[in-house]
Amino acid sequence: VVCVAQDFDFFYFVQQWPGSYCDTKQSCCYPTTGKPAADFGIHGLWPNYKDGSYPSNCDPDSPFDQSKISDLSSSMQRNWPTLACPSSNGFTFWGHEWDKHGTCSESVLDQHDYFASALGFKTQLNLLQALKTAGIQPNGRFYSLNSIKGAIKAGTGYTPYIECNVDVSGNSQLYQIYMCVDNSGTKLIECPVFPRGRCGSSIEFPSF
C-alpha cells in the first residue's frame, strides 16, 4: 500500500531584491563568485500550511548534498545568489534552504528537483520584466504598493504578496515577493493565504 502523506498544503516561492537586502543597516556581502546581476534572486521554496504555519527541518537523515546539484550550480549562482556576510559561494545558503524547507517536501521533490523547480519558476515568472513593462524600475523612486501588485498580476497572471524592509534612512522598500506553487511542486497557483506584515502605501524600489 502506497501511503501519500498530505504533509503540507502549498509552497511559497520567495524572491528577494538584492538592493533592498544590501542598503539596510545590516548591509550585505557579495558572493565569492562576484556581484550578482541587478535582478531578483531566489530566497526559497517553502512548504506551508493553509493556516499560515509551516513545517521545518523535517528530515535530518537527508542532509544537503551539493554533489546532487552539480549540474545546476552555475544557474544557481546566477539566480540564487547569497548576500549574507561573510561572503560565501552559495552552498551554505542553499544547504540551509534544503535542510530547513526542502526536507519538508521530499515526498514530491527530491533534492535535485527541488532546486531545479525553483529555478524554473523564477524563469517562468520574470518579475523584473513584469515590473519594467509597467514602468516600475529599480531607480530609487517610490511606487504605490497597489501598482507593484498590479504589474506582477498583469505580467505573471498571479497576485503576489510584497514584503517590505527598511533602508538606512527609514524608507519602507520592496524587499521580497511571495508567489505560490501547488503542493505537487509543478505549477503556480493563487496564494491560499498571505503572510502578515506592513508596507507603506508607497514604497521605494532601490537600485542595485
Q: Which residues are identified as catalytic?
A: 43, 97, 101
13/27 Cα distance (integer angstroms): 24
Contact 197, 163 (CB under 8 A): yes
197 binds ligand 5GP (CB under 6 A): yes
- Residue from 12, 115, 143, 208 in contact with ligand 5GP (CB under 6 A): 12
Angle 111-125/91-100 helices, nearest 10 degrees? 110
- Residue 124 phi/psi, 5° resolution? -60, -40
Those residues whose C-beta lies under 8 Å from the C-beta of residue 164, and which sit 6 or more positions away, are 172, 173, 174, 175, 197, 198, 199, 200, 203
Which residue from 13, 24, 22 is spatially nearest to 172, judged by alpha carbons? 24
* Pick 84 or 188: Cβ nearer ligand 5GP: 84
Number of residues binding to ligand 5GP, judged by CB under 6 A:
24
How many CA within 13 A on the CB side of residue 82? 18
* Pick 145 or 166: Cβ nearer ligand 5GP: 145
Q: How far is the CB of 124 from ligand 5GP (least distance, A)?
A: 20
Here's the x/- map for ligand 5GP, 124-163, by CB under 6 A: it reads as ---------------------x---x-----------xx-
Q: How far is the CB of 2 from ligand 5GP (least distance, A)?
A: 26
Here's the x/- map for ligand 5GP, 81-120, by CB under 6 A: it reads as -xxx--------x--xx--x--------------------
* CA angle in degrees (0–180, nearest 5) for 162-166-169: 145
Query: Beta strands 10-16 and 172-182: pairing type?
Result: antiparallel
What nine digits make up the cell of 102?
A: 526542502
Contact 162, 148 (CB under 8 A): yes
* Pick 72 or 101: Cβ nearer ligand 5GP: 101
* Pick 40 or 161: Cβ nearer ligand 5GP: 161
* Pick 21 or 40: Cβ nearer ligand 5GP: 21
Q: How far is the CB of 1 from ligand 5GP (least distance, A)?
A: 30
Residues that bind ligand 5GP (CB under 6 A): 12, 16, 21, 43-44, 46, 48, 54, 82-84, 93, 96-97, 100, 145, 149, 161-162, 164, 195, 197-199
